[in-house]
Amino acid sequence: MLKAFAKAVEQLQDRALRRIVWIGLLFAAVVFALLWGGVYLLLSHTTIFQTGWLDTVVDVLGGLATLALTWLLFPAVVTSIMGVFLDDAADAVERQHYPQLPLPRKQSIQEIFLSSAKFLALMLGLNLITLLFLLVPPVFPFVFYGVNGYLLGREYFEVVALRRLDPPTAARLRRSNQFKVFIAGLVIAFLLTLPVVNLLAPVIGTAAMVHIFHGMTKRH
């Protein structure tokens, strides 16, 4: 696991992956800005109390809430939007480390779009439910990283695995290695919540999952 992520970080300087890294940085920054703006508008245009000074207090706290909500929703949104580019990242890693492989299975734009949309809806729904655990601060980090670790591990695994396997076979391989997939997702979820690092995390996570996936297929 550590070796897979180390290889992923090392390849960030590879010319073949550099273009995808810059695209990822741009998209991640734009997604974060749009998400922040959307959450801010939603909170700032919602009147909770009819008393002026109470609404002022809520607006001040709303600034902190905007940042917190943006940070918590960022992993789900950026992963979904960057689905197409993550496939290119996987391709770059396989060309360098697994040149003996045949061409990957062709996936239609519709298949990728529907998969990303389904994942986004699921991630947003579960993360909004997870926010309820903010009322229990000691428990919240465990719930947040647990939920996102499971979902991100599954999503990044599918980005890589469906290039090589049909959906039923990919699902069987994931289930037989579910703990490893979960731990990888946990690492990706953590990286996606670190400032600056979260801009690179989608590419790092994809590259690491390529190595993890081929390690699984080699053993099987």
pLDDT confidence of 55, banded at 50, 70, 90? low
Query: Do you know the residue count of the chain?
Result: 220
Inform me whether the pLDDT recorded for 76 exceeds 90. no
SS (H, E, C) 121-136: HHHHHHHHHHHHHHHC
Q: How far, in whole angstroms, is CA 107 from its chain's centroid?
A: 20
Q: Are 90 and 163 in contact (CB under 8 A)?
A: yes
- The model's pLDDT over 98-135, given as tens digits with 9 standing for 90+, comes to 999 999 987 777 777 777 778 778 887 887 788 788 77
This prediction has a pTM of 0.81
48, part of any domain:
no
What six digits make up the tokens of 77?
């949104």
Domain limits for position 95: 2-17+75-219
34, part of any domain:
no
Inform me whether the pLDDT recorded for 86 exceeds 80. yes
Give the C-alpha separation, 81 to 96, whole Å: 25
pLDDT confidence of 181, banded at 50, 70, 90? very high
Q: What pLDDT does 8 receive?
A: 93
If one counts the domains in the chain, the total is: 1
68, part of any domain:
no
Q: How far, in whole angstroms, is CA 91 from its chain's centroid?
A: 18
195, part of any domain:
yes
Give the C-alpha separation, 3 to 49, whole Å: 53
Higher pLDDT, residue 160 or 27: 160
61, part of any domain:
no
193, part of any domain:
yes
CB atoms under 10 Å from CB of 143, counted, come to 17
56, part of any domain:
no
197, part of any domain:
yes
